[in-house]
Chain A
Amino acid sequence: MIWHIFKKDLELMWRPILAVASIQLAVVVIQLRLESVNDSAVLQQLSQVLLWLWLMASTILAITVVHQDAVPSTKQDWLTRPVRRIDLLVEKILFVFLMVQGPSIATDLVQGFANGFGTRQTIAATLARAIIVFLALTLPALALGSVTESVTEAVVLVLVAFFGVFSFTMIAIGVAGGYGHQFDPTDFTGEGWLTNALRFLLIFIGGVFALLFQYQARKTKHTRILLGSTLLVLLFSQFIPWKPVFAVQKAFSPAPALGNSVAITWQMQPDADRRTSYSQGRTENRLFIPLSVTGLPTDTLLKADKSEVSISDQHGVRLYIGTGEDVEIRNDAGKQSLSYKQTIQVPPHIFQTFEHQAVSANITYSMTLFKLQSSYALRATQDNQRMPGWGLCRSRINENETAIEVSCMQIGKGPTCASVFLEHIPSGDRNPENTACYPDYSPFEDRPIPDVMTRFRLVLPFRDISGLTKYPVDATRLAESKIIIRMYEPQDHFTRIVASPLWSMRDSASGN
C-alpha cells in the first residue's frame, strides 16, 4: 500500500513540489551563471536569498507531506482505516526523499555529468550529499511534522526550540566568561567533521526513534520530549573533549607510520633573535615559542590541528592554560631540521604578573602530516584543465590585469591543502607561493548547500599597481609561464609533546 499512499500524496502535493523544485533549479542556474560571471554581487545575493528560500520551502513541504495524514490528531480519517502505520511512515520518508530531495539529487547528478566528472565520483558525491541533506533537513522536518498538525504549530515549535538554543548558548557564554570562548574544540580544525558526524548520528537515532515511536504509539507529548532531549544532547555535543576526537581521527590515518620520525623540540633562541618589545593595554600578549622540527619527510607539510599550551612557574604551579596559534611547516627541500616560531597569546594580566619570573611551558601538539600527492601545471592564461583529485579549473587574467585567477570546481569534497605558484618555464623563476590549507579530513563533503559542487578560486598576483612589489614572473612572461599546483593530502595524525626548560616570558614576547 506504500505506493498507493504515495500516489495519493503526489496528487495532493504536486504543485508545491513543483514550486520547490523550481527554486532548486533557479539556485543551480545561478550557480552556473556565477561560474562564468565572476563577482556578480547581485547574483550572489540572489543565490543566497533563493538558497534560504529553498531550505525553508523544502522544510515546510516535508512537514506538510506528513500533515496530509497527521499523526497527533484524533480527527484524521486515516486513523480508523486499515492503513499499516509502518507503511505510512515508510511512504512519508520515501515521498519526501524522492519528491522534496529528488530535484536536488537530480540537479546534482546533472551537474556532475555535465561537467564531465566520472559516473562513480558523481554518484558517490550525490549520494553523500543526499544523505547529509536527509539527516540535516529532511529527517528533522519529518519528525517535526509527526508531532504537529499544522505548519503554524510546527513554526511555533521551531521558535520554542530556537529560544531554547539561544538561552542555552547565552547561559554557556555567561558561564564560560565571554563571547570569545570557543566551546567546540573541533571548530576550525580538520577534525570538525567527526563532531558533525556525531551530530548526524544523534539526529539519525533521535529522528528515527521519534518517528517509529510516534507512528506506532501516537504519544505526541512523549515524542516531543524525546525530540527536545535529542536537541539538548546536540547542544551538549559542542563540549566534546578534544582527545577522543583526535584519537578517532588517528585511527583513520591513511599512512599511520609516516610521522613516526617527526620530532619537535624546544629550541633556545640566540640572544639576537629575542623580541622583547610589548605594549601595555593590549588584550593579549604574544609569545613566540622557538621550535625545532626534525625527521620531517621530504615533500611533506606538517600542520598542528591544535596545540594545547600550559605555562607553569618554577614550582610547577600552573599559571595559564590555552591554545597556541597555527603551526604550518613545509619541507620541500628535504631538510633534516627546520625551525619555527609558534605564536601563543596570553592574557595581559598573566603576562604582567609573571613576565620576569622563570616559567616553563608544556605544549601538546595534535598534528597532521600532509604528503605531496600530485603536481599539476596549468597554462597561466586561458587554460581549462581537469586534474584528478583537484577538480576542473580555468585560468584567466583578472579585470585589473594584476593577477591570474584560477576558478576551480570539484564534485563533492574539494582538495584540502595545496601550494600554488606561477613559474616561468624557460628560466625556472617563480613568484611567491600561495599556500592554501583548509584542513578538512572528512571522507565526504558534509556541507549540504548550495549543491554538490565545491567551488574555489586561487589568485596569483603578477603585478602590483603601487609598484612596490616586483614579481619575477610578470605580465610580459605570462605566455611562457605555468601555474604549478602542488596538492597535499593528510596521511598521518599524531601527538607530540614539547616541554620547555625554565624561561622568561618577557624574553619571547611581542606586543606590537
Chain B
Amino acid sequence: MIETHGLSKNYRSCGALRALSLKVPEGSAFALVGANGAGKTTVIKILMNLIQATSGTARVFGVDSRQLSPQQFRRIGYVSENQELPGRLTVSGYLNYLRPFYPDWDVALEREILQRFKLPGDRKINELSHGMRVKMALTCALSYRPKLLVLDEPFSGLDSLVRDEFMAGLAEQAGDMTVLISSHDLSEVEGFATDVAFVESGRLLFQEPLEALTDRVQQIKVTVERQSALPRTTPDTWIDLHETGNVLTFVDTQFSEFDLGERIRSQIEGVRDIEVQPMSLRAIFTSISRATRHVQE
C-alpha cells in the first residue's frame, strides 16, 4: 500500500529524514510513532506529495508519490492537525463542494458521521473549535470510504473526550481500509494499531506488528543476592538499565522465555529472582528512545 525506500529530506544543512525505508501493509492500522521533530510529519508530507524528498522514493498505491493524481487522491483520506480548510464556508457548504470530486461519496455515511460528531452544518468552519475542525476534517476524509486513510498527529490539542469520540468514529468506519497514523502520544494508538514503526531523529528504528513488538520487548526485574554482583557490561539488547540496591531493572529488546534464566545468570552472578513484566507501547517507545539518544550522545 505504502512503501518508502531510502527516503531523505534535508532542510538546508539539517537532515529531517535519513534514508528511511518503510512498508505499510494493506489493511493494517499502521502507527508511525516518534517524538516531536522525529520526522513523522515529513514522511507523511512526502507520501501526500505536499513536499518532495531530497532523495529516495515513496510509493503510494504503487505510484511514485510525486506523480499522485486525482485518481489516487479519490482513494486517499488525509487528516492533519494543521490542515487548512476553507474557513468561510459552512460545514455543509464544504461537504457540498467536496462531494462531486468523489464518485464513491456516501451521503448516508456523511450524515451518520456528522450526527456522530454533532457537527452543525450551518456553522462556518472558522467558527468551529479545534476539536470540531479535526472532526470535520475526518468527516471529509471518511465519507467516500477511502482505501487509505492518513492521519498526521490528529489528536494534537484535543481533549480526551474528543479523542475518544474521534477514535470511536474512526474504528467504526475503518473496515478494510489501511490507516497510517502518526502520533507522539502512544497511548492513543495502542488499542488501535496493528503495526508500529518507530522514528527517531529522521531514522526508522524498526517497524513490526504491534503484537510481535510487545512480545519481543519486555521489562525484566532481576534481584541479586549482593549489590556487588551487578555486571559492568551487559548485552546490547538490554537497554534502559536501572539499579536500585540489589535490584536491576532493564528492558530486553530480544526477549524470549526460552532459557531466560540461563541467559541472565550467564551475565549476572547470584541471581535470586527474575520477574518479567509486559510493557505498554508508551513504555517501549520511551525506553527505546532513551537508549537511542544515549547511544547517539
Contacts and interface: CB of A to CB of B under 8 A. Distances in A.
Interface stretch (B96-104, B112-120, B153-161): B96-104
Contacts of A8: 86, 89, 97
Given A12-B88, A12-B89, A74-B51, A81 B101 contact: yes
A427 interface: no
B89 A82 contact: no
Interface in B211-237: none
B50 A79 contact: yes
Contact of A77 (B69, B70, B83, B93): B83
B74 A82 contact: yes
B107 interface: no
Contacts of A11: 89, 93
A181 interface: no
Nearest to A149: B84
Nearest to A4: B100
Nearest to B41: A74
Given A11-B89, A12-B86, A75-B83, A82 B101 contact: yes
Contacts of A12: 86, 88-89
A80 interface: yes
A83 B101 contact: yes
Contacts of A75: 80, 82-84
Given A74-B45, A75-B80, A76-B84, A81 B89 contact: no
Contacts of A74: 45, 50-51
Contact of A82 (B51, B73, B80, B85): B73
Interface residues on A, range: 10 to 19
A269 interface: no
B210 interface: no
A77 B95 CA distance: 12
A70 B83 CA distance: 13
A81 B73 CA distance: 6
A184 to B, nearest CB: 41
B296 interface: no
Nearest to A5: B97
B85 A77 contact: yes
B262 to A, nearest CB: 53
A82 B84 contact: no
B86 to A, nearest CB: 7
A85 B113 CA distance: 29
Nearest to B66: A217
B78 A80 contact: yes
Interface string A1-45: 100100010011000000000000000000000000000000000
A1 B86 contact: no
Q: How many B residues touch the partner, as a band?
A: 20 to 34
Interface in A67-92: 68, 70, 73-77, 79-84
B100 A80 contact: no
B129 interface: no
Interface string B136-180: 010010000000000000000000000000000000000000000
Contacts of A68: 86
Nearest to B68: A80
Contacts of B102: 82
- Which of A4, A76, A80, A83 has its CB near the most chain B CB atoms (within 10 A)? A80
A8 B95 CA distance: 11
Contacts of A82: 69-71, 73-74, 101-102
B48 interface: yes
A4 B97 contact: yes
A482 B82 CA distance: 75
Interface in B46-100: 48-51, 69-71, 73-74, 76, 78, 80, 82-86, 88-89, 93, 97-98, 100
Contacts of B71: 82
Contacts of B89: 8, 11-12
Contacts of B100: 1, 4
A385 to B, nearest CB: 53
A76 B84 CA distance: 5
Contacts of B78: 80
Given A80-B48, A80-B73, A82-B71, A1 B101 contact: yes
B84 A80 contact: no
Nearest to B141: A80
Given A1-B101, A4-B97, A79 B74 contact: no
Contacts of A77: 83-86, 137, 140
A76 B86 CA distance: 9
The CB with the most chain B CB atoms within 10 A, among A1, A77, A81, is that of A77
Contact of A79 (B48, B93, B101, B140): B48
A76 B80 CA distance: 10
Contacts of B85: 77
Given A68-B86, A80-B48, A82-B101, 12 more contacts: A1-B100, A12-B86, A75-B80, A77-B83, A77-B86, A77-B137, A77-B140, A79-B50, A80-B50, A80-B73, A82-B69, A82-B74
24 contacts: A1-B100, A1-B101, A4-B97, A11-B89, A11-B93, A74-B45, A74-B50, A75-B80, A75-B83, A77-B86, A77-B140, A79-B50, A80-B50, A80-B73, A81-B73, A81-B101, A82-B69, A82-B70, A82-B71, A82-B73, A82-B101, A83-B70, A83-B101, A84-B70
Interface of B: 45, 48-51, 69-71, 73-74, 76, 78, 80, 82-86, 88-89, 93, 97-98, 100-102, 137, 140
